[in-house]
Amino acid sequence: MRVVVATGNAGKVREIREALGGLGWQLEGLNGFPLPEETGSTYEENAALKACSVAMTTRAVALADDSGIEVQALGGEPGVYSARFGGRSSDLERNLYLLERLRNVTDRRAKFVSVIVLAYPDGRIETYRGELTGTLLEGPRGEQGFGYDPLFVPDGETRTLAEMSVAEKRAIGHRGRALEALMAAHEHGAPS
Ligand code: ITT
């Protein structure tokens, strides 16, 4: 099956390609197709907006991810607004802003959420969700991954997500879990 990966985030593309290799799908990039504005208030809504818009414009199956980090001490912020946290425009600036917001805060608990939507040109959609709980460090560690990975140590681990390979992050991570559920549903063809 031909599937357009409807994201402009290179880190997501790497993780999605690595995880779905075994399905034998032909994964294609956006090739200049625009993504719609994320006007939803949930990951599910925003992932569906992105996947449905690309499925309709390309007439192909489209896969989108909407994700974010929810910080306990910030009442769940930034959540669906993680890509625009504090109005900062780069991963580095957002990480510095998050550290600033958490200065002198001892409760460092946080949770990553990833929602994957597969949309078909006929309007059908499938939704898969994965979560990962952990704690936020007081400074970044590691060069791999993207976004808030250098600050986040998953529960039960000593390394940050940015100190793990793509395969290691997939095995325990939020996006890996959502993609795992998608793969289980498609093992013997598309779910009916
Ligand atoms: P697309 O909409 O083009 O897919 P985006 O980066 O704008 O890309 P989102 O709106 O879903 O995607 O924003 C999610 C943000 O949450 C992302 O930019 C990161 O800052 C953060 N994020 C999501 N998943 C992450 C992960 O696995 N590791 C680190 N940060 C992550």
**What pLDDT digit, counting tens, does each position of 179-188 carry?**
999 999 998 7
> Residue 27's pLDDT is what?
97
pLDDT at 172: 98
169 C-beta closer than 6 A to ligand 1: no
Q: How far apart are CA 6 and CA 162, in angstroms?
A: 23
149 is in an annotated binding site: yes
- Portion of the chain with pLDDT greater than 90, in percent: 95
Residue 8: CB within 6 Å of ligand 1? Answer: yes
Q: What is the pLDDT of residue 187?
A: 85
Q: Is the pLDDT of residue 116 over 80?
A: yes
Per the annotation, does 122 bind a ligand?
A: no
Q: In the structure, how many helices (H) and strands (E) does the chain have?
A: 5, 6
- 65 C-beta closer than 6 A to ligand 1: yes
Query: Given pLDDT bands bounded at 50, 70 and 90, which one contains residue 189?
Result: confident
Of the candidates 65, 66, 107, 155, the residue annotated as catalytic is 66
Q: What is the CA radius of gyration of the chain?
A: 16
Which domains, ranges and CATH numbers included, belong to the chain? 2-186 (3.90.950.10)
pTM across the whole model: 0.97
Known catalytic residue at 91: no
Instruction: Tell me what the mean pLDDT of segment 162-187 comes to.
Output: 97
Percent of the chain with pLDDT over 70: 99
Helices assigned H by DSSP within the chain:
10-20, 43-58, 91-101, 166-172, 174-186
CA atoms within 13 A on the CB side of 122: 1
Mean pLDDT of 109-133: 98
